[in-house]
Amino acid sequence: MATPVEISSPATAIPGAGAPPTPDAWQAAFDAALPYQAFLDRHANPDQRSRWDAFHARVSLTSAQKALLGGFVRRMPVLVLAGAWCGDCVNQCPIFAHFAAAAPALDVRFLDRDARPDIAAHMKVCGGQRVPTAMFLSEDFTPILFYGDKTLSAYRAAAAAQLGSSCSSGAVPPPSDAIAAVVSDWLDQFERAQLIVRLSGRLRQLHGD
């Protein structure tokens, strides 16, 4: 695989970020992204940071969920497109930090929505640049699956309440049972992606397992 390309500014196009992006382009975008705390340090203002921290404290994983995540064996980069200002990100991205803490095989990084428009263009939902969205990648940066922005349980709740906003301020956090449902929704996607790479004939041949 080619040497990762240093990204100096959004105006610097990622080589290979076409339709679709090459594995090298996904790796370059991933290398430009930041771990959870570093992302917040760079992009969140104090008010936003307090909301992220408060929601992070409300998330908890069951022992079964921790065991599941701890059982992941194949390295799996996950590129999350997010915005520190986005309420949907406030109410979901801290979940990924908990997943990463429980699963050494996960490498979750966060990319500001507006930092890499050439890559963000390939992570749209229904034609819109909604966040958060996650691109699950194999260890050699081949895309596995893409998921975002709200999970099914969150969309069901929004539909039932007839909410019109696609990205709230995050000022009013969801109830605990709603958080648990979203955790479960996202964990299903992380597990599915891990099983895809774990059972991949190509990767099993590479690892001899």
Assess whether pLDDT exceeds 90 at residue 31: yes
Domain 23-207, CATH number (from 3.40.109.10, 3.40.30.10, 3.30.420.40, 1.20.930.40): 3.40.30.10
192 contacts: CB under 8 Å, gap ≥ 6:
145
Assess whether pLDDT exceeds 50 at residue 67: yes
The residue-averaged pLDDT of 149-160 equals 87
pLDDT band at 159 (very low <50, low <70, confident <90, very high): confident
The residue-averaged pLDDT of 32-52 equals 98
pLDDT for position 166? 45
Domain locations along the chain: 23-207
pLDDT for position 156? 86
Greatest alpha-carbon pair distance for the chain in Å reads: 51
The pTM for the full model equals 0.86
pLDDT for position 160? 78
Question: How confident is the model over 87-127, as pLDDT tens digits?
Answer: 999 999 999 999 999 999 999 999 999 999 999 999 999 99
